[in-house]
Structure 1
Amino acid sequence: MGVGICLVNNPHSLEWSPFIENQLAVATSNRPGHTPISGIIYLLSFLPKNEIEIEHQIQLNVGCQHILWSHRNESILLSSCHDNVLRFFDTQNTDCMYREWFDTQSISNLDWDKISLEWIITGGIDSSIKLYHENQDSNESLQTFHTKKHELVIKEQESNLESIDDLQAPPIHDIQWNTHSPMQFLTTDRDGFVCLWDLRQEEDPCVKSFRIHNKTCALKMDLNIFDENSLALGCFDNSLMTYDLRNVKKPKSILSNIHYSQITSTQWSPHTQHLVATSSTDRTLRIWDMRESNNLLQFNNDTPNDSYETEVSFGGRVSNFKNQKMEDWVNDIAWNIHEVGLMALCCNDQLVKAYNIKED
């Protein structure tokens, strides 16, 4: 498959098609302050000889934020927009937008269930978690959950609160369906908690939660498709942590200060179990080797959560110094599931790029 660079309008999010190996969807919007307010969804085709063709453009009068492909129908796309609306598009039809779901708050992230292929989950800046079914008649969510008012947070803050009702549930930073177990998903929030939710549990769907070490929070996460218990977290303190969900008393690995500024994406490779890619507003894309053989330091299970010093790193290393330097900050990255080592990224300089990265 070809690689190359394509100019688009302020890209925010991208995703390779699960059906067509060279097709990439990109969600864009005008830069803040520019008029008229508008967004475009691009379908890009990466061709041999490093040529790129814009197959389709969907023009909207509102900015597009996140983009997802259906894993059931190769022409169906879902995008969250800046007016707090989820919109479905069928690229095979002339009137391609065919469904809208309305929300009252900004959508921080969303995901489409890859097991049943039917359920869609969103996380909001108001701590709300909303569940939709692909074929529902209503344009409102079927169920709404909220991040918990965790006991640890309450204990830390209760001395400054007049009543427990004053404690606000933290906003969702990231949300992702579990690709190994049906009806389960994970969330990260601003208070530093990672939660596992199981919608089959009616009384309390939040079946597990733990607080991230070093008193930070995860901005982005990804569950390893090869290992149902291996979770990677790109954190607010610019660290990369991995956890084994069977034992969250300590992280499997901590890599401190992997970027110089905010992490914008964290993704395991779909082809190589131990590789994680991260991107940042420091204008770099980096690949990390997280094999346990890289462990230079060992901690026992009794080490308290907050006893790891932030400068300590263990359990991983940069993979053969595979850093890609960009001209502007990187907004999103996406591994191609069809070709080993092929990765797309979009930057704040209005460029979408595709690289072939040899995986080791």
Structure 2
Amino acid sequence: MLEFRTSGFNPYSVKYSPFFDSRLAVSAGANFGLVGNGRLYVLNLTPNGIACEKFFETQDCLFDLTWSEQHENQLLTAGGDGSIKLFDIGVGEFPVAGWQEHQREVFAVHWNLLEKQTFLSSSWDGTVKIWTPERKESLMTLPVHSCVYSAQYSPHHPQIVTCVSRDSHLRVFDLRSKPSSQYHLQFAIPIHGPPKMALPQVNRSVGPTECLTHDWNKYRDSVLATGGVDGVVKTFDLRMPSGPVNLLPGHDYAVRKLSWSPHLSDVLLSASYDMTCRVWTDGSNVDKGGNGGGLGRELGRMDRHTEFAMGVDWCLFGAEGWCSTCAWDERVLVWDVREYMRPGP
């Protein structure tokens, strides 16, 4: 296990570069993001451990980041002051571009993996915005009317956007559809709905709870997972948009970040306020229907963090188990998930 310390700054998000297997970026804020500056770290994995290649200072906390899909040295940040900034590793100490339309904190940014000239942002102001680096104004605003904690483009369809929010719904937008009173909204799926199959071992939520994170399955184009303050990872199939397919309980506190494996279709990682990062199977590898409706379970956990675990990301290259996590203990860890997995029942 490799470790890097972000002394004086508490990390919120960690992301592997889509171009280099040895490069990571971390967004962080002083004083747990409540007040003070932010910092963006660019890290390199070297034979002697993790080294800081460069860092950028900002005036407010950085809640999230995403690597550019167009330029290997550029990345976007989501700011607590409502700003989005584009940094270039090879250009000075300041951002090379910036955007300021959101009225509150920007909590997530995501680059389109397929139509690489666009990216999105989501904010506590209740909106998701679509952007292109070439314009100062957003291309489109998607109203959610509830604090949006996480938004993403589908990795399978460049015009499909999803988000999760305070009101306990997973929303799916199709930007190809004609604008209407729904502003491209296709589904608003209740995250707190009952699962499709009977799961007697699960203590079901008594009502809506805030949803903090979600992620698309990289192999099945209709499957997503969500996590929130009830501590339960839930999987969804957009072919059955009335509620979750599967529930994966286990975390003691809120799930802060999720990431499906880029190598295995049934495996995902979670980071939680209970200070653990856990690896799960959704059961689809034994489910003949292929919709994730098999009995999922926890495969293992890593409990080396000593504060809220905030971020997790898989390495896209090499062996299938390598990942990075970050937490409010001012530590970024790089580790092999396979070393923490238990044998199956």
TM-score bracket for the superposition, by shorter chain length: 0.7 to 0.9
Look up the match of 1:193: 169
Cα deviations by residue, 1:102-124 (Å, 9 ceiling, x for unpaired): 13221122211111111111122
1:213-251 residue CA offsets vs partner (Å, 9 max, x unmatched): 153343211110100011111133111111111013353
Go from structure 1 to structure 2 and tell me whether the alpha carbon gap of 1:351 and 1:241 turns closer, same or farther (over 3 Å shift). same
What corresponds to 2:219 in structure 1?
A: 226
Report whether the alignment pairs 1:343 with 2:329: no
Structure 2 residue aligned with 1:117: 116
Check the 8 A contact 1:327/1:349 in 2, yes or no.
yes
Change (3 A) 1:126 1:104: closer
Q: Distance in 1 between matches of 2:263 and 2:161?
A: 22
Deviation at 1:195, TM superposition (A): 1.4
Pair 1:283-2:275 in alignment = yes
Q: Is 1:330 paired with 2:309?
A: yes
* Aligned residues of 2:154 and 2:216 also touching (Cα < 8 A): yes
In structure 2, what is the equivalent of residue 90 of structure 1?
Answer: 88
TM norm structure 1: 0.82
Residue-by-residue CA offset, 1:249-292 (whole Å, 9 max, x unaligned): 35321123x21111111111111111111111111000011124
Residue 39 (structure 2) aligns with: 40
Secondary structure in 2 matching 1:338: coil
Q: In structure 2, list runs of 5 or more residues that go unmatched.
A: 194-204, 288-292
Larger radius of gyration: 1
- How far does the alpha carbon of each residue in 1:149-174 deviate from its partner, in whole angstroms, 9 at most, with x for none? xxxxxxxxxxxxxxxxxxxx322121
Structure 2: distance between partners of 1:38 and 1:344:
24
Classify the secondary structure of the residue corresponding to 2:96: strand
Alignment-derived partner of residue 145 in structure 1:
142
1:268 aligns with 2:268: no
Q: Is 1:60 matched up with 2:64?
A: no
Per-residue Cα deviation, 1:95-149 (whole angstroms, up to 9, x for no partner): 551111013221122211111111111122121121111211x2x32322212xx
Where do residues 347-358 of structure 1 align in structure 2 (5 Å cutoff)?
347-358=327-338
Is the 2:117–2:132 Cα contact (8 Å) retained in structure 1? yes
- Partner deviation per Cα, 1:49-82 (whole Å, 9 max, x = no partner): 5x11111121233322211110111001111122
Q: CA deviation at 1:183?
A: 1.4
* Unmatched segments (≥5 aa) in structure 1: 148-168, 296-312
Aligned to 1:10: 10
What's the counterpart of residue 231 of structure 2? 238
Count of aligned residue pairs for this structure pair: 315
Distance 1:341 1:314 in 2: 22
Q: What CA distance in whole angstroms lies between the structure 2 residues aligned with 1:87 and 1:350?
A: 23
Contact 2:283-2:294 within 8 A present in 1 as well = no
Question: Letter of the aligned partner of 1:354 in structure 2?
Answer: V
When structure 1 is superposed on structure 2, of 13-22 and 324-333 the one drifting more is 324-333
Q: Which residue of 1 aligns with 2:297?
A: 317
Distance 2:88 2:185 in 1: 34
* CA RMSD of superposed structures (Å): 2.3
Which 4+ runs in 1 deviate beyond 4 A? 32-35
Are 1:184 and 2:177 matched, yes or no? no
